[in-house]
Amino acid sequence: MTAVLGGCGLTGGGSGDVTLKLVAADYGDSADNSSRKYWDQLVKEYESKHSGVKVDVTVYSWNDVDRKVKELVDAGKAPDMAQIGAYADYANKGLLYSADDMLSISTQADFASQLATAGQVKGVQYGLPFAASTRLLFYNKTLFKDAGLTPPKTWNQLAADARALKARGVKYPYALPLGPEEAQAETMQWLLSGGGGYTDTVGTYGFDSAQNVNTFTWLKDDLVGKGLTGPVAPGSLNRAAAFAAFAKGDVGMLNGHPSLMKIAAKQGVKYGMVPMPGVDGASKSAMGVADWMMAFKKNGHAEQVGKFLDYVYSEKNVLAFSRQYDLLPVTTSASDVMSTDRRDAALEPFLKQLPLSELYPVDKTSWASVAAAVKKRIGNAVSADGNPAATLAQLESTASMAENAQ
């Protein structure tokens, strides 16, 4: 399991024996809950029912897994499968099997529709959604109760709540993490809530749209400029630090994903969760995030890979993974179970957001470089001497060049 992959699967002579290689990301935060344990159990069960097929899984941290897969592919040693953060670059180079090439019709039909669509390049699905999450606005119930506040439904209400919290000495009335760790997520949530987004209705980048400029102008003038986002400049505040501050009781409101529930509860913080406020009411679009499974053509194991992935995406296995890591299931069958099972009640608010969610433009091979530019620059838009329109215009230029270079 820990060995570096050697590349091609091994195919026996007439026996049909095949060893499939899978590189996967680790969703755990310790050895006790490493994804390695999940895959060990799943593979053990699969191999016991499918003689002649072995599955060799190597698990890497999220810090390393995308790079490791790229190194293997560049060396001509692509694994049979990779479960990582993006698929479009490999699909664009013609290296991947399509879903039609390998999966059963029932497995394909079970994917949540917007996730299946996000896995398409030019109308063909190459990226198989593996895990998903949505984001909600978390608020500190104790701080809100002490200040006599109700959770906001509009931007103006959010600003008013933040002013009231600041008056009571709350360190971060609204935590706005636009630092390099995950600025692209916070940015997208705000753009969607303002009626914009990274792309327009036909999928073309539109960073400098009027809606996006209005959104960041409001953030700069009505939140950051009024001192409502705390002592750390948004461009220097990372998500992990914002989550930690929320768990200490220092944050009134911030956007968060399901893992924040455990972080906050562990520190005894009482929290509530509501949909992201919009300009005049609840945001019409939620932000979703998905990670991806893909299968490489290199070793020619479409049939064996397809049967294994049919098993991976069975209701039982999707539910087990989602529950283990507080993630949302990517299949309709598992979502239906989760939405009615009491043990999954904590995830229900996030699950309700999934059908409304919009994902990063992961079908674009340019997205990785564009996301890096967002992480680097977007904090400047809300700085004291920042210019939201100019920053967004720069990002639009960067995105257009990256797209045209593909």
What confidence tens digit (pLDDT) does each residue in 308-325 have? 999 999 999 999 999 999
Q: Which pLDDT score is estimated for 387?
A: 97
**Cβ contact 80:325 at 8 Å:** no
- 19-70 per-position pLDDT tens digit: 999 999 999 877 888 999 999 999 999 999 999 999 999 999 988 999 999 9
Task: Please give the domain boundaries of the chain with CATH numbers for all domains.
Answer: 18-132+289-359 (3.40.190.10), 136-275+366-404 (3.40.190.10)
pLDDT(11) > 80: no
Q: Which pLDDT score is estimated for 148?
A: 98
pLDDT(6) > 90: no
Which amino acid makes up residue 114? Q
Least confidently predicted of 73-82, 123-132, 289-298, 344-353: 344-353
Q: Which pLDDT score is estimated for 32?
A: 85
**Cβ contact 104:310 at 8 Å:** yes
Q: Which pLDDT score is estimated for 33?
A: 85
| Mean predicted confidence (pLDDT) in 374-392 | 97
**Cβ contact 360:289 at 8 Å:** yes
Q: Which pLDDT score is estimated for 28?
A: 87
pLDDT(4) > 50: no
**Cβ contact 217:388 at 8 Å:** yes
Percent of the chain with pLDDT over 70: 96
Which amino acid makes up residue 300? G
| Mean predicted confidence (pLDDT) in 252-277 | 95
pLDDT(16) > 80: no
Q: pTM score > 0.95 for this model? A: no
Cα separation, 307 vs 131, whole angstroms: 19
Cα separation, 5 vs 8, whole angstroms: 9
Which amino acid makes up residue 235? G
Which amino acid makes up residue 289? V
pLDDT(382) > 90: yes
**Cβ contact 57:24 at 8 Å:** yes
Query: What's the first-to-final CA gap in the chain, in angstroms?
Result: 35
pLDDT(115) > 70: yes
Cα separation, 346 vs 326, whole angstroms: 9
pLDDT(393) > 70: yes
Q: Where do runs of H (alpha helix) occur along 75-207?
A: 88-92, 99-102, 105-110, 113-118, 141-146, 155-167, 183-193
pLDDT(14) > 50: no
Local confidence band at 5 (pLDDT 50, 70, 90 cut-offs):
very low
Q: CA nearest 132: which of 311, 331, 340? A: 331
pLDDT(7) > 50: no
Residue 208 neighbours by CB distance under 10 Å: 19
The rounded mean pLDDT for the chain is 92
Cα–Cα–Cα angle for 325, 329, 330, rounded to 5 degrees: 130
Show Cβ contacts of residue 19 under 8 Å, excluding neighbours closer than 6 positions: 9, 10, 53, 54, 55, 56
pLDDT(3) > 80: no
pLDDT(285) > 90: no
Local confidence band at 104 (pLDDT 50, 70, 90 cut-offs):
very high
Q: CA nearest 10: which of 84, 100, 77? A: 77
Q: CA nearest 248: which of 269, 275, 226? A: 269
Least confidently predicted of 40-54, 133-147, 355-369: 355-369
Q: CA nearest 394: which of 375, 406, 377? A: 377
Q: Which pLDDT score is estimated for 405?
A: 82
